Chain A
């Protein structure tokens, strides 16, 4: 359905700021009818990729194709095919939700009767009946998101593109949006959504791509990606706050243990130990070994590998660490300017 080939995009490079390579030879292929997740920390290039797909931004190099239509030579055909729910909620505060939807319907050239029918359907689908005739300025974040989603769906697009659709939302709105997305996918709409919530992508997406520094570093179904890592994750703390020497001792002790494939000392978590284990009774063996060495066990937790482990494996850091490392570096003012026409 979507083919993004070798997309590159560089921002800035003016006198004031250093250029930013937002996309670096990004390739992505989204199968028709799937719910596809783009996962990555802030600044990985998710929004840039989606803006290029939606014809809002021209790539420096590369090609965009949706359902066989070349996006660079026929952007209008692409716009007809897709609905876009952007990250920044841009609504007209003075219009009522219904008026805003009607306006969007006109911009998609819906006939009056069809427009009316779609409004009724979508207001019902997204549970907006109680407030749709109030002015948008009075809406909560969740209401705005739902209205935005409805606007993106008005023309029955074959492809729905959502940029961080649930960021900052209350649980109820989030659940409502998830449900609608799943329903749409089941009815055959292809959905591409970006997120930096691991659990959102894990729960929703049929397939996903992990983005890092403007390129795809892992791609596949969530299950396949996690299975490829192999083994379970175990977090072990012998005490609430251990020290380097003790951690090293435990590491040596467990490294030889049968079924333990890897032991890493996590300094930032009070010298806890992260283990990759395989096999049925590894946990029992670990406990026995620790008891024999007269070591206490403060906490021992076993889990299946998560998408965060996939990210960790590919980049050498957790998604959280990646978020924190860019947190202070991005300038919202500059980014707003970049998105401004």
Chain B
């Protein structure tokens, strides 16, 4: 029998407030798992998000791959095929798009009053609500990215080795955390889902085009090259591209930016800083909205 039996007197209920560590952890785990499970049940019963999230990048991969299949050899740095070049871009784009949608379920819960129901419950920590969203969207975007990786391999665009796979995973995780933080922040800052969808729509493609997903910086006009070299997507794409390229070393230069050469370690460091920075940035907002 747990906390709130009718026989529970008010005094006991008060003293239960700040109870010790292990039970707090168990409670946070219970509420986080329950909230995460809900998101997955929704996904299982309405899988269109999952399907669309795989289908869209797949179309990019096939169409763009075909469009530039006959690009002259030597156009790309390193001289590989365009399909192989494109693969890394589309993998990152997949994870990015999925994570950008992280705020949508939360926004709907805000709008339909379901969030208020969650907030009336004596949650041990209201971070559980945010944590559940992060767990859900991270798994979803990794599954989608994996589906794209498998397809790319079947199309003959290669497969990273064991180390490479680890690099891909870490890079995607960092990117997904950063973008999820951004999206969750927007879900609380914007007035409704129409506005959130509009922002997602507007942010999505320009960020893709202004990155090295579809073409190398050497191929771009100077101004676009600068944009691409500052775009967080680029910092995710280039380490993954290097991981697909074979021998991977954190100290290797993976990006020749207009401002200088960037190593894989720097790319990952920037992504990590971005993820941490964005979570810190949205924290006051979450605190305000969730307390």
Contacts and interface: CB of A to CB of B under 8 A. Distances in A.
Interface of A: 54-56, 67-69, 74, 76-77, 79-81, 84, 86, 88, 90-92, 94-95, 99, 102-104, 106-111, 114, 135, 151, 155-158, 187-189, 336-337, 339-341
A155 B3 contact: yes
Nearest to A151: B117
Contact of B42 (A80, A94, A102): A94
Interchain residue pairs A-B with the least CB separation, the first 3: A106-B34, A90-B113, A67-B10
Nearest to B119: A56
Interface in B11-33: 11, 13-14, 16-17, 27, 30-31, 33
A107 B121 contact: yes
A175 to B, nearest CB: 25
Chain A CB count within 10 A is highest, among B13, B112, B124, for: B13
Contact of B5 (A106, A156, A339, A341): A156
22 contacts: A54-B120, A56-B120, A67-B10, A68-B10, A74-B14, A74-B17, A77-B13, A79-B121, A81-B10, A81-B13, A86-B117, A92-B38, A94-B45, A106-B34, A107-B31, A107-B122, A108-B4, A110-B2, A151-B117, A156-B5, A188-B6, A340-B110
B1 to A, nearest CB: 6
A74 B115 CA distance: 20
B185 to A, nearest CB: 13
Contacts of B289: 341
Contact of B122 (A108, A189, A340): A108
Contacts of B110: 340-341
A74 B113 CA distance: 23
A118 B30 CA distance: 17
B8 interface: yes
A55 B120 contact: yes
Contacts of B118: 107
Nearest to A336: B111
Contacts of B11: 68
Contact of B14 (A69, A111, A336): A69
A339 B113 contact: yes
A79 B10 contact: no
Interface string B254-290: 0000000000000000000000000000000000011
A109 B3 contact: yes
Chain A CB count within 10 A is highest, among B13, B27, B117, B289, for: B117
Interface string B189-216: 0010000000000000000000000000
A111 B2 contact: yes
Nearest to A154: B4
Nearest to B122: A79
B235 interface: no
A156 B122 contact: no
B41 A77 contact: no
B114 interface: yes
A108 B110 CA distance: 20
A278 B114 CA distance: 53
Given A95-B38, A95-B41, 13 more contacts: A55-B119, A68-B11, A74-B14, A74-B17, A77-B13, A77-B16, A94-B41, A99-B41, A103-B37, A107-B31, A107-B35, A111-B1, A339-B113
Nearest to A96: B41
B123 interface: yes
Interface in B46-97: 46
A339 B116 contact: yes
B177 interface: no
A35 B235 CA distance: 62
Contacts of A156: 4-6
B194 to A, nearest CB: 13
A133 B38 CA distance: 15
